[in-house]
Amino acid sequence: MTENAQPLIIEDDGPVRILRLNRPDVLNALDDTTLDQLRSATRKAAKDDSVRCLLITATGRAFSAGQDLDSVKKQMADPGAPELGQHLRKRYNPIILALRTMEKPVIAAVNGVAAGAGCSLALACDLRIAAQSASFIEAFINVGLVPDSGSTFMLPRLVGLARALELAITGKKITAADALTIGLVNEVVPDEQLEETALTRAKQLAALPTKAITLTKRAINRAWTADLPDQLDYEAHLQTIAGQTRDHREGLTAFLEKRNPTFTGR
């Protein structure tokens, strides 16, 4: 198999693991093979302590056009094919959960259009850096479906109820600049600078106290469904754990010694 034929390219740059969707001819539409590889790669990245930041991007002019609609059409003709819900539970949901609970930061470098489940994939990452020419489409409605793969969860939390509903029920395309204005992305950069900027950000995050990032992600994920007394107690619990890490000791010592800290992620 040539490198071009691999639907997912996996590379390491120091502590940064890069997952690159690679079906540019179909705008990185997600077929079963790509989804299986993505699920396996996210699991491996989660377990590998040498990986301290995960970066998801894609080749060509798109980030991902979402579910491969050719395979959906083929399955429609097969009476024994799994229902869409089964397909989601088996293939998409484990990826989204793995990203949201990943004990290291996850960045999406959105190099082009992110549509349908491709948009959901970007939303499940912790940070989104978009190329100027990127765009976002909650395309589900255009094919008579509901937003899935976490879009109904992430979208209102990122952009608020009214905008989330607007994007989800109209399926309208928004530009990277508009996505920045409404808080859907963290940063927009010229197309030719996307790769370098995303890698720089990823390396910066990888050099931070990874354990504290993990605990922060846990706290913020949980805050959405907690009440204040509960959350205060949870913060106290997590701070006890953070306070016992080597990186906390290093951060404290470095501050008092007036030098830059060297964090190891432990």
For position 87 contacting ligand LHQ by CB under 6 A, the verdict is yes
**Applying CB under 6 A, which of residues 18, 58, 96, 115 lies at the interface with ligand LHQ?**
115
Q: Which is nearer to ligand LHQ, 63 or 263 (CB)?
A: 63
For position 66 contacting ligand LHQ by CB under 6 A, the verdict is yes
Site for ligand LHQ in 9-28 (CB under 6 A): 26-27
Q: Which is nearer to ligand LHQ, 25 or 227 (CB)?
A: 25
**Applying CB under 6 A, which of residues 18, 29, 124, 213 lies at the interface with ligand LHQ?**
29
**Applying CB under 6 A, which of residues 9, 10, 46, 72 lies at the interface with ligand LHQ?**
72
x/- letters, 128..157, toward ligand LHQ (CB under 6 A): ---------x-xx-xx-x--x---------
Q: Which is nearer to ligand LHQ, 115 or 131 (CB)?
A: 115
For position 113 contacting ligand LHQ by CB under 6 A, the verdict is yes
3 state SS for the chain:
CCHHHCCEEEEEECCEEEEEECCHHHCCCECHHHHHHHHHHHHHHHHCCCCCEEEEEECCCEEECCECHHHHHHHHCCCCCCCHHHHHHHHHHHHHHHHHHCCCCEEEEECCEEECHHHHHHHCCCEEEEECCCEEECHHHHHCCCCCCCHHHHHHHHHCHHHHHHHHHHCCEEEHHHHHHCCCCCEEECHHHHHHHHHHHHHHHHCCCHHHHHHHHHHHHHHCCCCHHHHHHHHHHHHHHHHCCHHHHHHHHHHHCCCCCCCCCC
Rounded least distance, CB 260 to ligand LHQ, Å: 44
Rounded least distance, CB 172 to ligand LHQ, Å: 11
For position 81 contacting ligand LHQ by CB under 6 A, the verdict is no
Token readout for 88 is: 């989601």
Binding site for ligand LHQ (CB under 6 A): 26-27, 29, 65-70, 72, 84, 87-88, 92, 113, 115-117, 137, 139-140, 142-143, 145, 148
